[in-house]
Amino acid sequence: MKKITILKYRVEPDRYSQSSKQSYGHEIRSRQKYYEDIEYVCRSCGRKDIYSAFEQKKAYENRKDYICCTRVLCQKCWRNKRNLLKLAHEMEKQYCLNKQVHLNSEKFLREWLHVLCEYKKYSYRFNHQRIRFIERHLEKFT
């Protein structure tokens, strides 16, 4: 029978960000000696996933993420969300460089709308004004 080794990662509250140190969560987290794996269900796809102790240590102490934040998306959904956001920013930049050309391109507007609507599946913070703007401009093609 194989023996499973569980790695423990010590909590080092002095390495948290300033905003985390000033939060109520800091008092609670400081009492813990080690990070523990947290099981959660992805908000987007419903798949079970684990926020590992190592990932928590890296997030809170190295990247200085806020300590009251936890994972809500699995790795796959998180990567999709990040890629869609990057694509949306690139399309926004293209639009800003040449507005008239892109406003008269149905293909560009439909692709942009698709990217923004896909992103909406992963986040509560989406650009609903930009979606409505694109929809209004697409009306002239129908």
Domain coverage including residue 120 = 75-141
Are residue 47 and residue 94 in the same domain, yes or no? Answer: no
In this prediction, residue 22 carries a pLDDT of: 84
Are residue 133 and residue 82 in the same domain, yes or no? Answer: yes
> Mean pLDDT, consecutive 10-residue segments, the chain of 142 residues?
66 87 79 90 95 92 88 94 96 96 96 96 90 95 84
Query: Helix, strand, or coil here: 11?
Result: coil
In this prediction, residue 25 carries a pLDDT of: 77
In this prediction, residue 2 carries a pLDDT of: 53
Are residue 92 and residue 52 in the same domain, yes or no? Answer: no
Are residue 45 and residue 88 in the same domain, yes or no? Answer: no
Residue 2 resides in a domain:
no
In this prediction, residue 70 carries a pLDDT of: 86
Residue with tokens 């499973």, as numbered in its chain: 4
CA quadruple 54, 59, 62, 64: dihedral, nearest 10: -150
Are residue 82 and residue 45 in the same domain, yes or no? Answer: no
Residue 125 resides in a domain:
yes
Q: What is the pTM of this model?
A: 0.76
Are residue 79 and residue 58 in the same domain, yes or no? Answer: no
Number of independent structural domains in the chain: 2
